[in-house]
Amino acid sequence: MTGPGRARAVVEALRDVVGRAAAHVASADRDQAVAYDVASMSAAVAAAGELLDPGASYGAGYGAGRDAGYGADPDAGCDAGHSTGHGTDTGADHGADHGADHEADLALLYAADVAADLAGRLTGREALWGVDGTALDGVAAHVAAGRDPAFLERVAERVLATREAGPRHLSAELQLVRAAFREFAADRVAPVADRIHRDDEDIPADIIDGLAGMGCFGLSIPAEYGGAAEGDELAAMVVVTEELSRASLGAAGSLITRPEIIATAIARGGTEEQKRRWLPMIASGERLCAVAVTEPDFGSDVARITTSATRDGDEWVLNGVKTWCTFAGRAHYLLVLARTDPAGHRGLSLFVVDKPSFTGHEWRLTQEGGGSVEGRAIRTLGYRGMHSFEVRFDGWRVPAADLIGGDGGLGRGFYLQMQAFANARLQTAARAVGVMQSALELAVDYARQRSVFGRPLADYQLTRAKIARMAALTAACRAFTFAAARAVTAGDGQLEAAQVKQLACRAAEWVTREAQQLHGGYGYAEEYGISRLFVDARVLSIFEGADEVLALRVIARRLMKP
C-alpha cells in the first residue's frame, strides 16, 4: 500500500475509535479525565484528516495552487531573521514531483504518531472509552511504517533541505499576501524582536503604523466600513498572522487579534450608527483595540463575571476589575464585558470604552465627578511587547450610545463575545503555527551548523527524528487551521476553531521545546531567539480559551451531543 493509502487507513481507524468513545462517554463534567482525552484526540485526528488533503484545506474557497517544490517560499530560505548561509538550498532543486511524496510521508508520520498517542491514552481505560483494546490492530503495520526511524530520517532529509514543514497550497493572491508580510516582518519586526522581549519594551510605533498602512487591522471588516473583507478574509488573516508570529508573537503576531475580536462583535451586534462610527477607525489603525473580559476570580468562567454597569440617565457607570487585558495601554478602544443584570450569562452586555493611548506599563484616567480607570501591566515570562494589564474601573462613566447594540444589545454581550472568540481562537492557532515554523527553521539551521563528536548534529538519527516530527506537527496544524477558517466562513466552525486552537497551542509547546533542546546550552541563552519562542509558546494554551476548558466545555460537549 502507498503512503497516502496507509495514512488514510490509519486516520479512518482513528476516527472510528474517537467516534465510538464520544458516543460512549456519558458526561464531560463527570468523566473529565476521559472526556479530555477524547476531545484532544478528536482534534489530532481531525488535523490528520486535513493533512491527507491539504490542497482542499488551503485552496477550497480561496483558490488552490501548489508550490513548485518549495521554491515559491518568499524568503528563498534566507530571510533576515534566520539567514544561515544556506539560502540557495530552498528546495527548488527538488521539484514539485517530490513535494507530493513528501506530503504523503508527513501525513503517514503524523497519523502514526496520533495512533501511538491514542493507544497510550486508551490503555487501561478501554472500558471507560467503550472501545476494545484491539481497535487499532488492523492498522498496526501502517503505524509501524510511519514510526520507523529510517522513514523519519527520510522525511527529515527533505525538511533539512528546505527549512519548511511542507508545500503550501495558496492561491496566487494569498502567496502575494504572504510575501508582503514576510518581507515586512523581516525588515521591521525580526531586528527588534529579541530586544523587545529581553527589555519588555513597547512595540515600536513604526511596526503598528506599518501594519495599519498595509490594511492589517481591517482584514475582517467589510469594505463599506473601510475594511478589506471580501469573503476570504479568514484565509488572509491566517496567512498574515502566521507570518507576523514567525517573527515575533509579542511584537507583531498578536496585533490583529484584538481588532478582530472587537470588530466581529460590533459587526454582528452593533447598530448601523455604531458600525459607521467605530469600524472605519479600527480598520485604518487610527484606533487601536484591547479586550477586557477576564476577571481575577473568573477566567474562562465568563458567565460569572462581576464587573458591573449601572444605568444613570444617558450614561452607564462601570465598576470592577479586569485582568489580562492585553494591549490595554496602547489601545484607544476597550471592549468591556460587564453585568447589566444579575441574570447569569443573560445579564451581560458589551461596551466600547474610548480612552487615550498610553505607552509604558502604568496609566490612569480620571473624570469630572470622580470616576477613574487605571491600568497596571502584569510582568510575564514571555509574550512581551503587547503588555497584559490589570484594569480597574471605579465609577467610570460611559455614554449609553457606547453599549454595543444600544438598548437592543442589553443581555447580548455573552453571545457576541463567544462568537468573536471563534475568530480569535482560529487566529491563535495561526499564531501557534507561526511560532512552530520559526522554531523549526532555527532547529534546522542549528543542526546543520553545529558539530557534535566530530559530526554535524543534523547527521544523527535522533536529531532527524525530532525534526521530522516537528515538521509533521507544523504541517498538520497549518492544514487544520485553514480547514477551520473554511468552517467559520461557512457559518459555524465553533467546534473546528476550538479543536485547532487546542491542538496547535499544545503542539507549539512541544515543537519549541524540542528546538530549544537541539540547541543545547545555547537554547537557554537569551541571545538565541529560540529561548524567546519557547517562553512565548507557553502562553498559547492559556489565553483565548484555556486548553482544558476548550476540551471539556466546547469540544467534548459538541462531540457528545446526540
Catalytic positions, written as ranges: 544
> Could you tell me which of 167, 165, 141, 144 has the C-alpha nearest to residue 155?
165
CA gap 262, 92 in Å, rounded:
42
Give the cell for residue 149: 526511524
Calpha distance 293→319 (Å, rounded): 13
Nearest by Cα to 500 from 422, 443, 426: 426
Cβ–Cβ under 8 Å, residues 86 and 78: yes
Cα dist. 528→25, 160, 439, 522, 548 in Å? 46, 20, 11, 7, 31
Vertex 480: Cα angle to 548 and 485 (nearest 5): 95
SS (H, E, C) 91-108: CCCCCHHHHHHHHHHHHH
What is the spatial distance between Cα 34 and Cα 78, in angstroms, rounded to a whole number?
45
Q: What is the DSSP letter of 68?
A: S
- C-alpha closest to that of 351 among 388, 319, 386, 324: 319
Q: Are 145 and 108 in contact (CB under 8 A)?
A: yes
Grid cell of 466 as nine digits: 525530532
Write the single-letter amino acid at 172.
A
Q: CA 211 from chain center: how many Å?
A: 19
CA neighbor of 482 nearest in space, from 250, 234, 315, 304: 234
Cα three-residue angle 310-314-318, rounded to 5 degrees = 30
Residue in this structure with the C-alpha cell 490595554, named with its chain if needed: 328
How many CB atoms sit inside 10 A of residue 123's CB? Answer: 9
Is residue 423 within 8 A of residue 261, CB to CB? The reply is yes
Query: How far is 486 from 483, CA to CA, in rounded Å?
Result: 5
What is residue 202's DSSP assignment? P
Q: What are phi and psi of 341, to 5 degrees?
A: -155, 145
Strands 289-292 and 333-339: what pairing? parallel
Nearest-5° angle of CA 340, CA 344, CA 350? 40
Q: Under the phi-then-psi rule, with left for phi > 0, alpha for psi from -120 to 50, and beta for the rest, what region is 25?
A: beta
Q: Other C-beta atoms within 10 Å of 477: how many?
A: 30
Strand partners, 291: 335
